């Protein structure tokens, strides 16, 4: 639902972490968009910000980090690049603990 509200649809691309639960990519496919898998950072075990930048194409509409238990998504550093490109950040926090979802 969040991807639909963000305007993601058929033919669009959404960047997701390569190490995640299958539902992260499935929800992207459900709105008929294409999941683009990006490798993870070994420290945070979430999207590698430098690789995200190189994965952005004219069809990219959103970045969807998946906040798994014990995985950190560093918001302060990561939100600058998407805004520059007019992208939405849709956090998949279904598996996150309450502590992991607090702003860094």
Percentages (nearest 5) of helix, strand, coil residues in the chain: 30, 20, 55
**What is the per-residue pLDDT across 36-64, written as a single tens digit (0 to 9) for each?**
999 988 877 778 888 988 999 999 999 98
Residue 79 and residue 32: Cα distance in Å, rounded?
25
DSSP 81-96: HHHHTT-EE--B-TT-
Query: How crowded is the C-beta side of 46, counted as CA atoms within 13 Å?
Result: 22
Q: Give backbone dihedrals phi and psi of 100, rounded to 5 degrees, phi first.
A: -70, -20
Amino acid 23: pLDDT: 83
Q: pLDDT grade, residue 104 (50/70/90)?
A: very low
Q: How confident is the model at residue 76 (pLDDT cuts 50, 70, 90)?
A: very low
């Amino acid at each position: 639902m969040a991807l639909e509200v963000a305007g993601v649809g058929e033919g669009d691309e959404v960047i997701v972490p390569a190490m995640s639960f299958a539902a992260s990519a499935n929800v992207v496919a459900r709105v008929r968009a294409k999941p683009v898998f990006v490798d993870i950072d070994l420290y945070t075990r979430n999207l590698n910000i430098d690789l995200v930048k190189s994965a952005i194409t004219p069809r990219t509409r959103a970045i969807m980090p998946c906040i798994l238990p014990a995985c950190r998504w560093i918001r302060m550093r990561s939100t600058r690049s998407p805004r520059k490109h007019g992208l939405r950040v849709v956090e998949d926090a279904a598996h996150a603990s309450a502590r992991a979802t607090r702003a860094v």
